[in-house]
Amino acid sequence: MAEQQAGPPGFSVVPGAAVHRSLAGRRAEIIDLVEDAYRLHGEGRTVNPPSYFLRFPDRPTARIIALPASVGGGVGAAGGAGADGEVRAAGGTGVDGIKWISSFPTNLGLGIPRASALLLLNDPRTGYPYACLEGSIISAVRTAASAASAARRLAEQRGTPRRIGFFGTGLIARYIHDYLSEPGWHIDEFGVYDLSAEYAASFAEQVLGPTGAPVRVHPDAESLVRSSDLIVFATTAATPHVVDPSWFDHNPLVLHVSLRDLGTDIVLRSANVVDDVEHVLKADTSVHLAEQRTGDRDFLDATLYDVLTGKYTAPADRPVVFSPFGLGVLDLVVGAHVHRLATAAGDTVPIDGFFHELDRHQSAGTS
């Protein structure tokens, strides 16, 4: 029997630059990792409590969200699954932790991103935190990988999109575009729309321009929606603002990542795929509003787990809307993987002596 590690694990910080280096060039790997996490979640092998929203009466547009979670096994979150199929992390099995992510839309006026985040990873043997990672990149990547997985798997059922439209042009849209390039689709045209013409033009030039495909900046939302086979909603909208179902008569695939853009009539006329039913039906998301209107959940057709396991086939004669609330288990899986890669590359910042009181009695009576 192997000797157990004495004391708590070491503690290290993984700065944003190290996170970025660890994830660079690993899109296919991260998509597979996220899909494995969805399968574990669908099999009931994770713990993913409801997210907790901290809101501010004096700053109504701002919020900070806590996403605690635990992943017990079956996915290579910290260096590959062991012989028993369990996740290996920090000298133990599995990984626990929490993401703490803020959303302050007013940051855009300051010229900085809306969201900032950190991710704490805990050793499941002792409960001690062993890493603090810059979390906004991990959050963006797991969101993009989730969207790309849904797009790829649903497109396999409905046909490859040839015209991709981006409604909203921030950091998340940029990462989703990056991950949507992984399937290697031939794209006839990219479309862009943003309330800010400046942001739309910049996204078209800097993000989409290097693809070599034609890029069209749309003057209005309707034009973008009607012209796209696949539409990415990545906005900061707090309430539905796209409400005309006729815009979707061509039955596109919709990645409704920002969750609150679509009116109830659109939701109810679409096939709806979500990441987790209980999580997404809260906080006044578009599907939550649809539940409040109908009094039931019958309009929800499947989860992404159902798509991944072949239990659900999306129709071709209706719009298909993927609404992912975002699961903390995805952050943990990607974050633990990043920690392993950064540690192997010598790219972490160890904090020696971070935990000071490690003897129950030694410091008693001292000042």
pLDDT digits (tens, 9 = 90+) for 166-210: 999 999 999 999 999 999 999 999 999 999 999 999 999 999 999
- Span 104-127, mean pLDDT? 91
Please give the backbone phi and psi of residue 299, each rounded to the nearest 5 degrees, phi first. -75, -10
Asked whether the predicted pLDDT for residue 89 surpasses 80, the reply is: no
Instruction: Output DSSP code: residue 10.
Output: P
- The string over 111-125, giving b where at least 16 C-beta atoms fall within 10 Å of a residue's C-beta and e elsewhere, is eeebbbbbbbbbbbb
User: What is the Cα–Cα distance from 100 to 77, expressed in whole angstroms?
Assistant: 19
DSSP string covering 276-313, please?
-HHHHSSTT-HHHHHHHHHSS-TTEEEEHHHHHTTS--
Asked whether the predicted pLDDT for residue 79 surpasses 50, the reply is: no
User: Which of the pair, 56 or 90, is modelled with greater confidence?
Assistant: 56
- Span 339-354, mean pLDDT? 95
Q: Enumerate residues 6+ apart whose C-beta is below 8 A from 293.
A: 264, 268
pLDDT above 70 covers a percentage of the chain that reads 90
68-72, 76-80, 275-279, 300-304: the lowest-pLDDT one: 76-80
- Span 329-340, mean pLDDT? 96
The rounded mean pLDDT for the chain is: 91
pLDDT above 90 covers a percentage of the chain that reads 82
Kindly give the pairing relationship between strand 253-256 and strand 189-193.
unpaired
Closest of 172, 204, 170, 206 to residue 189, by C-alpha: 204
Asked whether the predicted pLDDT for residue 8 surpasses 80, the reply is: no
15-24, 121-130, 141-150: the lowest-pLDDT one: 121-130
Any bridge partners for residue 232, and if so which?
166, 255
How does pLDDT run across 130-152, given as a tens digit for each residue? 999 999 999 999 999 999 999 99
- Span 106-135, mean pLDDT? 93
Asked whether the predicted pLDDT for residue 367 surpasses 90, the reply is: no
Instruction: Output DSSP code: residue 63.
Output: E
Closest of 100, 99, 102, 37 to residue 72, by C-alpha: 37
Q: Are 288 and 278 in contact (CB under 8 A)?
A: no
Asked whether the predicted pLDDT for residue 221 surpasses 90, the reply is: yes
If one counts every other C-beta atom within 10 angstroms of the C-beta of residue 272, the result is: 23
Asked whether the predicted pLDDT for residue 77 surpasses 70, the reply is: no
Global pTM?
0.89
- The terminus-to-terminus CA distance of the chain in angstroms comes to 41
User: What is the Cα–Cα distance from 115 to 139, expressed in whole angstroms?
Assistant: 10
Q: What structural domains does the chain harbor?
A: 12-139+328-350 (3.30.1780.10), 158-323 (3.40.50.720)
**H or E stretch including 136?**
helix 136-158
User: What is the Cα–Cα distance from 251 to 320, expressed in whole angstroms?
Assistant: 7
Asked whether the predicted pLDDT for residue 84 surpasses 70, the reply is: no
